[in-house]
Structure 1
Amino acid sequence: NPLGDKIGLTNYYLTRNDRPWLGVSGEFQFSRFPAEYWAEELLKIKATGINLISTYFFWNYHEPHPGQYDWSGNRNARHFLQLCAQCGLEVIARLGPFAHGECRNGGLPDWLYGQAFEVRSNHPGYLAHVGRYYQEIGRQLRGLWFKDGGPIVAMQLDNEYGHCGAPWETTGRGREVEWLSGGMDGPAHLAELKRLALQAGMEAPLVTLTAWGEPNWAPILEDESLPVYGGYAYPVWIDNPGPSDLYRFQDAHATFAAAPGRKRNYYPVMNAEMQGGIQVTYRNRPVVLPRSTEALALVVLGSGSNFLGYYMVHGGSHTWLEGGFANESKYPQVSYDFQAPIGEYGEVRDSARYLKALHLFLESFGADLAPMGTVLPSDAEEIQPADAQSLRFCARVRDGSGFVFLNNFQDHLEMPDKAFSLELTLPDGQLRIPRQGALTLQSDVCCLLPFNLSLAGTRLVYATLQPLTVLHTDSGPHYFFFAPEGLTPEYCLAADSYSQLAGDAQIAAEVDGKVYLAVEPGAERSFTLTTLAGNTVRVTTLTRAEAEHAWRGAAWGCERLIISHADLFFSGQSVELRSQGAAEMALTVFPAVTDWPLNARGGVLTIEQRGIASRLGVSVPARQPEIQLKDCGAGRFQIELAPDGMSGLNDIFLQFDYIGDVGSLFLAGGLIADNYNNGTPWRVGLKRFWPEALAQGLVARFWPLR
């Protein structure tokens, strides 16, 4: 780009300025969320460790009639991508023309149905419409490409081409619904789409194509595109799915190289569409467990993937198009919450916190991990999804250094706790983890453990702790680890790689040139090592809960790690906090804030210095918005809101706990929210409907179980 930054790739990983680069992307669809809140939501996403935003361009949102385009309001793609750049996020533009995304006609306009050609084909009539649409996108995105100094580093052509289609929602009234083509012209059609994109001025360093679909693998453009893969453990398109194959470790390079006709060991493995959740249908309504999303990401990494991408990372809502709502008919008319890490109304969920711990690791150690090869135990292929007894593990290693990945989660299966020890065969001999006895990997827990990791020159032989992040402070590097549930914390250091140990660590044993340290996890406990070069290295061991609530970003003059149960994001040199139901918020801040004036906008701030950290307290006025609920009979309830309800608040959530089939919420007779009940509470954020909801009230309607 004009700044001299360079994106490249090897057959194993992407590169950034010639260094290994392990990207983390999350899908956030601009047209499915109110534009006035885009900036806040992008900063929330970034705070979870995501560094790339992928987003669909739904053709039917932008060209409702042939040649008539709409890029206003929530459809303003240019403004959205400019905000991404301002927030420090890069972009994967999923250009279509077909998108799917549980959108009406897979995102194709209704008016294409009655044309004299088959869609997703090389018919000149179809390509003429696509070419005109691409030209319009190109005009909107001019100057926003990486080559111009903009945020767009990748573009995807079509979606699941040659693998699946979608129902034509214009059909099916009184007869069987008709499905549009899944694509019939193979790589030749993809080549045409790429030609049309380039003609429209759309050029990115990376061109991606969804390449899954075993055994009917989707086609790609050899030498001209990167195949990307996905995985969903709770597929709503299958009735009663059993345990999936996603939670056992494999050699991903060997697995995906098996696709017929593709060059072997030629492309890096990129998992660009892993489940962030799933959108329930009327027929199938699974609950996606937060642990499942974390475990899937960890297994994918252990198996050799060097790119993580989530669909969705942020939920959204279908809009109204001419002819009806923009949903595919088996899905809710409005809700596209997707049980995503950040929900339809911007709520940060547990899955976001679990993934954040892994993303922080990748931010600090991803360049080290990317070149490491996957090593499987000899019986790895024998472990099947329904096997609840075998320990699932693998390693990624290079030059005797690496990480052991362990997983004890399996969808649709209860996994018992597992006692285990590991023995690694390394160039310098055998390494046993732990020193003696066994560790316990609790049910549903996954983790990764380092071995022969350099801590700024001191060799960490192994730790029964997961690395979280590294802060580079004025006094030296500060490493943060956390204790996975069930594992006894232990550090093993090479005795000849440091000169002094001080702080909150007890020497448990010294054997064969190794020093074994016992520690008690807690944010206020740390120890220091003096390297042979005389430098200081600090190590803090967090609990798993503290790691889940750890946030990293630039604030108050430097890069910081903040531990807080409030959800927060970084904006300029400020930190914004969101707390539900708690008027008191506490923050532990590393490094200590000693030379920056702090104040709390909208609250009272207290500051306590605790050595290497500052303890901040923020108090805001407690609020409990009032509502009036009137039972109107037949499952209808009228809801009236207090006039001062939104004062001093970022949002108000209505939570419905109900026994029933479907819930709907109406404003002035129009449907604004809906829910297919899957046994979890239904929550609706109200700020986007304010002040109309205050003036006119709301009506909730529920239908009984069927």
Structure 2
Amino acid sequence: MTATSTPRTIRLRDDRPPLVAPAMSNAEDPHERLRLTSRWIEVDGTPTVPVTGELHFSRIPRRRWEEQLRLLVASGLTSVSTYVFWIHHERERGRVRFDGDLDVAAFLETAERVGIDVILRIGPWCHGEVRNGGHPDWVVTALGDRARTNDPEYLTLVRDWYGRIAEQVRPFCGPDRPIVGIQLENELHDQPDHIAALKVIAQESGLSAPLWTATGWGGAVLPAHDVFPLYSGYADGFWAGQGSTWDDSFRDHFRFTHVWDDPGVGGDFREEGTEIVVRPVDPEFPPSTCELGGGMATAYHRRPIARARDIAALANVKIGNGSAWQGFYMYAGGVNPEDGLQESLVTGYPNDLPRFDYDFQAAFGATGRPGPSLGVLRDHNAFLAAFGPRLADTFSSLPDDAPVDVHDLDSLRWAVRADGTSGFLFVNTHQPHEPLSGSTAVQFRIPFADGELVVPDRPIDIPSGVIGRWPLRIDVAGVRLEWATASVAGIVDGAVPTVVLRVHDGLGARLQLGAGSRALLRGIEVDAAAALDLAPGDVLVVDGALRVLVVDEERAERLWYLGADLVDSTDAVWRESGDLVVRAEREPTALVWSGEEFAPLALHTDAHPGTTRLTIEQLRPVRDAPARYGESMGRSAAPDDGQFEEVAGVWRVVLPEAQDRSRGELIELVVDWKGDVAQLRADGVVIGDRFWDGLAWRIDITEISPDADLTLHIAPIAAHSVIDLDASVRQRVDAAGSLGAVVRVEHIVSSRWTSAL
């Protein structure tokens, strides 16, 4: 390591627009708990950084709503966002359904009971990878291009539809109610008058909320004052064209910048060559997101894999950029409620999506079980819960030598978010597909108003792959954290609170405490005047007022912050009626932080969980796959029913005897398979499907009769198949020449394990 270096410098510049109180949530539709300013969102009178996660109630069985919402709260969300898809509720004109899994009022009642706010996205055009963007077929047939305009006939239909929604949700609107936001339309870029008209119709129908939002990306022109623009950011996207490389619009989200518009999302709906005018943030509203990729869907022609650290890096960069509100899409995946509701080339879309599957590789997958990004998002959300009130009234500053070219892989990417005297240093040396370089002999010079701060006290090497948020003169429980080369995560309440410090892989953790501090490390007093070298597992007690728990990246992603309880668990954990509840298929190994150490959490269940490897019987072999079944707009088309039957192999799955389902058991099939397209059929009827992306397929079969004749149908994939796959998956296909098989099927019964604390 180099002994000396020239510290990297930054000027702290508060370029924010003046602090004002918009009419929204203040003069109009005031709310008892939530209030908007031009710089932040206040919750219960305190500036904060809320976190929203997308969950589509009509894509999740009603029996799982409460558990799923409790898990959203347990993973750090403050609100849930959900579409009300018109086509889900009124496939035939005049036959409107709000029953069963479509009962939006029951969903809202459940959310209120659980204690999570709701953002209602009412369209009428939503997208969400739904047929016609959510417009029923009869609307498309009757109006064609007049839909999504101020055409009087269309507005009449919208007025009726909004009225139907209002009948269901009006009791949940108001100054003390759980609906805190309503989104109008989606990705409508050039019709501000139409969005304004939609808001008037919604209000006349009896809908109200302190926040009225609209998507602001793609150079959208929105009606002034009427809607709060929200932005997006994805690490990769299924919507890119066939054979395209990793687009610059994705690369852009892994550098620190103060440009919030995203010209990539929704690009598949724009004509080729359309110029996007990137617009600045409306100074009346703080920069905020509603769609940071918490995962990614697979289209037939393009199947990216959403890896956890890609999602973590993107989320961390957005906070470093100055985000005032983070919304993740999707946070909980699901399954379409009926066949024929998916986006497809047949209906004029540029993409074929699965008929049922909408797992989205989300933080919680289609069956409600933890997905790849859950651990990193819990860590991120815990930071915002603990330090959001400090972040809210800070400004983001970028170094003068910040990389301006998304193809610059060598310059160190960093930013500071501060209030002039304290804050956080954000570092990012991670991105997918094209790894960023590390940097050697690094120090940072931060010119705070009360004295310059150099971090760390000696030069360090920052390796590739670091996703950092380092404290700068932050006070916690009266203890000064002067700086650290490790990331602060959450704070655990208690007589002596615990702050969690996450050590980065390949980077030593040093912590400098404030002057005059006294500290015990592993029970032994240490010299707190000098920077301390810390390691995972260390517990530092400072001034008898604060514990610093040091964890590695792996443990950080297992932690659940549940008020005064910190739980280490790979299984899903939530709080319910004073108990901690864990869902698992075998005895969990959950640990709870005692304030001194992690101790086993005693859990019990009255159910009979377990995992069984099922017998599978091949009934028909796969046949040769063509290079393409068809194409549209240059993109490969999924096989139609006839084409699928010609090539698909068939396997019968033998289920075990009926399971008792009275104690909240969840019954899943986990299918390890390889091929192109898979279908699960019960008694000959398709009940689930999947496009292969190299990942296992989990299917909720809790409500399927054990006497059902279950068969798996697999269409093969070949080296000549024109499909964009993740590089690791493409290598498997090319090496084999052709793949089409069921490798293993497991029958998993998970149950609720409870512990009263």
Matched residue, 2:462: 440
Taking structure 1 as reference, are residues 13 and 503 closer, same or farther at Cα in structure 2, changes over 3 Å only?
A: same
Are the counterparts in 2 of residues 146 and 204 from structure 1 also a CA contact under 8 Å?
yes
In the alignment, which of 390, 401, 407 is matched to residue 422 of structure 2? 401
AA at the equivalent of 1:700: L
Is 1:569 matched up with 2:574? yes
Which residue is 1:126 aligned to? Answer: 154
Match of 2:656 among 625, 629, 642: 642
Which residue does 2:690 correspond to in 1? 675
Instruction: Show CA shifts across 1:651-681 (max 9, x none).
Output: 3433333331111110111111111111222
The count of residues paired between Structure 1 and Structure 2 equals 636
C-alpha distance in structure 2 between counterparts of 1:262 and 1:415, whole Å: 28
Maintained 8 Å contact 2:89/2:98: yes
Q: Counterpart in 2 of 1:602?
A: none
Whole-Å separation in 2 of the counterparts to 1:32 and 1:253: 30
Question: Which residue pairs with 2:135 in the alignment?
Answer: 108
* Displacement of 1:490: 1.5
* 2:331 alignment partner, SS class: coil
- Measured after TM superposition, the shift of residue 387 of structure 1 is 2.2
**Deviations along 1:350-376, whole A, 9 cap, x unmatched?**
311101001001111101011111111
TM-fit CA distance, 1:302 = 0.3
Is this contact kept in 1: 2:120–2:179, CA < 8 A?
Answer: yes
Distance 1:255 1:156, change over 3 A: closer
Question: How many percent of aligned residue pairs carry the same amino acid?
Answer: 29
Residue 381 of structure 1: how far off its partner (Å): 4.2
Quick check: 1:505–1:517 contact (8 Å CA) kept in 2?
Answer: no
Cα displacement (A) at 1:702:
0.6
**Separation in structure 1 between the aligned mates of residue 48 and residue 140 of structure 2, nearest angstrom:** 43
Q: Deviations over 1:434-479 (max 9, x none)?
A: 22241433x3331110010012222211012211222332x23322
1:179 corresponds to which residue?
none
Alignment of 1:479-498 (within 5 A): 479-496=499-516, 498=517
Matched-pair contact (CA < 8 Å) for 2:130–2:341: no
Match of 1:168 in 2: none
Note the C-alpha offset of 1:253. Answer: 6.8
1:234-245 aligned at under 5 Å gives the runs: 234-239=236-241, 240-242=244-246, 244-245=251-252
Gaps of 5+ in 1: 163-183, 592-610
Matched-pair contact (CA < 8 Å) for 2:682–2:710: yes
Structure 2 length as normaliser, TM-score? Answer: 0.79
Cα displacement string for residues 234-280 of structure 1 (whole angstroms, at most 9, x for unaligned residues) = 12221323252110001247999x96787753320011111111211
- 227-236 or 77-86, which deviates more: 227-236
Corresponding residue for 1:623?
A: 610
Matched-pair contact (CA < 8 Å) for 1:10–1:267: yes
Judge which range, 454-463 or 26-35, deviates more.
454-463
Task: Assess, with a 3 A threshold, how the Cα gap between structure 1 residues 116 and 463 changes in structure 2: closer, same or farther.
Answer: closer
**2:398 aligned residue (370, 376, 391):** 376
Q: Distance in 2 between matches of 1:3 and 1:585?
A: 46
Q: Is the 8 A contact 2:436 2:465 kept in 1?
A: yes
In structure 2, the gaps of 5 or more residues are 1-24, 264-275, 346-351, 622-648, 722-757
**Aligned mates of 2:473, 2:437 — CA distance in 1:** 30
Residue aligned with 2:446, SS: strand
Aligned counterpart, 1:64: 91
Whether the aligned pair in 2 keeps the contact of 1:567 and 1:578 (CA below 8 Å) is yes
Asked if 1 retains the 8 angstrom alpha-carbon contact of 2:412 and 2:438, the reply is no
Separation in 2, partners of 1:334, 1:77 = 20
Aligned residue for 2:747?
none
The letter for the 1-side match of 2:547 is: R
SS in 2 for 1:658: strand
1:222 aligns with 2:255: no
2: distance between equivalents of 1:526 and 1:677?
A: 45
| 1:123 counterpart letter in structure 2 | D
Q: RMSD over aligned Cα, in angstroms?
A: 2.6
Contact 1:507 1:518 in 2 (8 A): no
The aligned residue for residue 549 of structure 1 is 558
Question: Which residue of structure 2 aligns with residue 596 of structure 1?
Answer: none
Distance 1:119 1:3 in 2: 32
Give yes or no for contact 1:467–1:480 (8 Å, CA) kept in 2. Answer: yes
SS of alignment partner, residue 486 of structure 1? coil
Match of 1:701 in 2: 713
Structural mapping, 1:158-197, within 5 Å: 158-162=185-189, 186-197=191-202
Q: Is the 8 A contact 1:249 1:376 kept in 2?
A: yes
- Contact 1:385 / 1:410 at 8 angstroms: preserved in 2? no
Match of 2:336 among 301, 309, 318: 318
Residue type matched to 2:239 in 1?
W
1:359 to 352, 361, 381: 381
Give the stretch that moved more between structures: 290-299 or 642-651. Answer: 642-651
What is the rounded CA distance, in whole Å, between the counterparts of 2:236 and 2:525 in structure 1? Answer: 46
Alignment of 1:171-320 (within 5 A): 186-213=191-218, 217-239=219-241, 240-242=244-246, 244-252=251-259, 265-320=283-338
- Counterparts of 1:418 and 1:664, CA distance in 2: 48
Q: Is 2:525 the partner of 1:529?
A: no
Paired position in structure 1 for 2:738: none
Q: Is the 8 A contact 1:562 1:588 kept in 2?
A: yes
Conserved 8 A contact 1:508-1:518? no
Q: Secondary structure at the match of 1:696?
A: coil
Aligned pairs for 1:76-91 within 5 A: 76-91=103-118
Measure how far apart 1:155 and its partner are. 0.2
Relative to structure 1, the CA distance from residue 501 to residue 260 in structure 2 (aligned partners, 3 Å threshold; closer, same or farther) is closer
